[in-house]
């Protein structure tokens, strides 16, 4: 038994033990009875004679008298300063990020484990003993750039009542490169197509695209075709979607948001869309070309993009030519329309009275749907409406062009007026 874990009652018995009056073998029997070694017995006895009986009742400190290899106070202060600078500017400030920043600044960095200990003893981190270890996650990555792109949207609120903006980012799965970005007042197919057009012009065509189940991105699970699908599918791009309620499927996009939002928060106030544009451009430049990425082996996304050959672009799908007599005729003035087969998909936002306007027709859905983004499927003879969750709100017969006609669908609580 080590002397540092000897119970106080045993220590007291050792202190009171009179070796001079004890018979031969008494010390050995005492040590055997209390399961301690003779060396521990004599060390405690010596401690009581040197520093006093009271001090001998407590274990000795394990702290060494000298620590020649301990990180100097100057180095610790530099490490803490670099960490605080990273946090202030909105970037990750873990051990690996601090190590990379120290090396970039020309300093010799302590090891990752030493940095973690410095953070801990200086109160820079909060213990999280129940946090799931990184080793428990199963990571997957496509082998080449352009094998798969990920698209997601995150909401950000401008200052001075500037309103909310939905930020779109396209990220390459292999290299983690931010390929394009934009923002709009809502999550819609128009802006999704715009950011993809920008990325395709600069980096080529992806073979696959992974998104969530947004009605603007991918509505396959609802039996519909979203605007982005209608745009990319004819180009031969395979559309992938995550499982409902499982955001870890889009883990790379979600992790990108966790880096972007703190960066934007650190640069407030952001009052205008122009200021937001500039910060998004600054973020993408630093993220792609300056900040080493842990999952890429401590190189930047731009270096990873350049280091690997690109995947072959997909083959566009052949479009069968329909007979002219069977081509449906749709009004040309419908904005934001996407042709899918014999139907057109449009999106409209219900106003404060629960009304949407499409193809010269006013459709009253009721106040329960006010402010919602409604997806509308136009065919030559029918109009079908779906809510934000992809659930059908009803279907009505489409009036012939011209004139005015009032229709109602009582079972669906829809009122239909055509002008």
Residue 79, CB-side half-sphere exposure with 13 Å CA sphere: 27
Place of tokens 């399961």: 35
In the block, residue with structure tokens 């802006």: 191
Name which of 161-165, 246-250, 340-344, 409-413 the model is least confident about.
Answer: 409-413
Order of strands, edge to edge, in the sheet holding 405-409? Answer: 355-358, 361-364, 414-418, 405-409
Q: Which residues of 106-141 are buried (b: 16+ CB within 10 A; e: fewer)?
A: eeebbeeebbbbbbeeeebeeeeeeeeeeeeeeeee
Segment 228-257, tens digit of pLDDT: 888 898 899 999 987 777 777 788 998 999
What pLDDT is stored for residue 319 in this prediction? 59
Q: What is the DSSP string of 56-88?
A: HTSPPP-S-S--TTSPPHHHHHHHHHHHHHHHH
Q: How confident is the model at residue 309 (pLDDT cuts 50, 70, 90)?
A: very high
Taking CA 170 as the corner, what is the angle to CA 164 and CA 175, rounded to the nearest 5 degrees? 140
Mean pLDDT of all residues belonging to the chain? 82
Handedness of CA 109, 111, 113, 114 (dihedral sign): negative
Q: What is the pLDDT of residue 221?
A: 67
pLDDT per residue over 274-286, tens digit each?
999 999 999 999 9
Residue 1 has pLDDT above 70, yes or no: no
Using alpha carbons only, give the angle 197, 201, 205 rounded to the nearest 5 degrees: 80
* Range in 23-37, 172-186, 374-388 with the lowest mean pLDDT: 374-388
Q: Which residues of 58-76 are buried (b: 16+ CB within 10 A; e: fewer)?
A: eeeeeeeeeeeeebeeebb
pLDDT at 125: 84
Query: How would DSSP label each residue in 199-263?
Result: HHHHH---SEEEE-S-TTT--GGGT---HHHHHHGGGTPEEEEPPTT-GGGGHHHHHHHHHHHHH
Whole-number percent of the chain with pLDDT over 70? 84
Confidence of residue 329 (pLDDT cuts 50, 70, 90): very low
Q: Under 8 Å CB-to-CB from 129, ≥6 apart: which residues?
A: none
On whether the CB atoms of residues 170 and 280 are closer than 8 A, the answer is no
CB 414 within 8 A of CB 393: yes
Residue 265 CA to residue 304 CA, distance in Å, equals: 28
Determine the pLDDT at residue 364. Answer: 81
Asked if the model's pLDDT at residue 260 lies above 70, the reply is yes
- Tens of pLDDT, residues 192-234: 999 999 999 999 999 999 998 777 788 776 667 788 888 898 8
- Whole-angstrom distance, CA of residue 20 vs CA of residue 27: 11
Nearest 5°: CA angle at 324, between 323 and 329?
A: 125
Q: What is the pLDDT of residue 283?
A: 95
Higher confidence at residue 26 or residue 130? 26
The model carries a pTM of 0.59
Q: Look up residue 105 and give its two tokens.
A: 């600044």
Quote helix, strand, coil % in the chain, to nearest 5.
40, 20, 40
- CA–CA separation, 373 vs 386, rounded Å? 9
pLDDT at 142: 92
Strand order in the sheet with 392-397: 338-340, 343-349, 373-378, 382-386, 392-397
Q: What is the pLDDT of residues 75-116, one digit of tens each?
A: 989 999 999 999 899 988 888 899 999 988 899 889 888 998
What's the pLDDT band for 298 if we cut at 50, 70, 90?
confident
- Lowest model confidence (mean pLDDT) among 125-139, 239-253, 265-279: 125-139
Could you tell me the pLDDT band of residue 177, with boundaries at 50, 70 and 90?
A: very high
Query: β-strands 238-241, 208-211: how paired?
Result: parallel
The C-alpha angle with vertex 327 and arms to 324 and 332, in degrees rounded to 5, equals 115
């Amino acid at each position: 038994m080590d002397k540092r874990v000897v119970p106080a009652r045993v220590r007291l018995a050792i202190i009171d033990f009179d070796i001079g009056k004890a018979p031969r073998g008494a010390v050995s029997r005492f040590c055997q009875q209390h399961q301690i070694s003779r060396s521990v017995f004599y060390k405690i006895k010596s401690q009581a004679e040197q520093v006093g009986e009271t001090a001998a009742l407590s274990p000795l400190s394990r702290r060494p008298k000298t620590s020649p290899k301990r990180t100097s106070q100057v180095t610790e202060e530099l490490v803490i300063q670099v960490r605080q600078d990273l946090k202030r500017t909105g970037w990750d400030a873990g051990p690996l990020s601090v190590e990379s920043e120290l090396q970039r600044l020309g300093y010799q960095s302590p090891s990752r484990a030493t940095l973690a200990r410095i953070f801990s003893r200086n109160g820079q981190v909060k213990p999280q003993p129940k946090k799931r270890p990184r080793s428990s996650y199963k990571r997957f990555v496509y082998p080449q750039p352009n094998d798969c792109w990920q698209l997601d949207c995150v909401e950000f609120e401008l200052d001075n009542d500037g309103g909310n903006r939905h930020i779109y980012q396209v990220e390459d799965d292999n290299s983690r490169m931010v390929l394009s970005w934009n923002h709009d007042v809502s999550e819609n197919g128009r802006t999704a197509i715009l950011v993809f057009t920008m990325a395709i012009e600069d980096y080529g065509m992806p073979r696959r695209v992974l998104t969530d189940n947004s009605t603007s991105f991918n509505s396959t699970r609802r039996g519909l075709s979203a605007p982005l699908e209608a745009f990319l599918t004819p180009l031969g791009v395979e559309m992938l979607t995550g499982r409902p309620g499982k955001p870890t499927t889009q883990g790379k996009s979600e992790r990108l948001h966790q880096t972007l939002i703190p960066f934007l928060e650190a640069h407030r106030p952001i009052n205008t869309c122009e200021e937001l544009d500039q910060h998004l451009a600054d973020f993408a430049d630093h993220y792609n070309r300056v900040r080493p990425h842990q999952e890429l082996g401590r190189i930047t996304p731009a270096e990873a993009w350049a280091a690997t050959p690109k995947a072959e672009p997909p083959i566009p799908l052949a479009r069968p030519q329909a007979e002219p007599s069977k081509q449906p005729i749709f009004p040309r003035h419908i904005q934001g329309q996407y042709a899918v087969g014999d139907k057109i998909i449009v999106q409209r936002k219900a106003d404060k009275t629960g009304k949407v306007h499409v193809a010269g027709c006013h459709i009253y859905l009721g106040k329960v749907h006010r402010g919602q983004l409604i997806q509308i499927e136009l065919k030559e003879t029918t109009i079908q409406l779906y809510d934000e969750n992809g659930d059908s709100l009803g279907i009505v017969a489409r009036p012939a062009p011209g004139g005015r006609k009032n229709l109602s669908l009582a079972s669906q609580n829809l009122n239909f007026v055509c002008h």
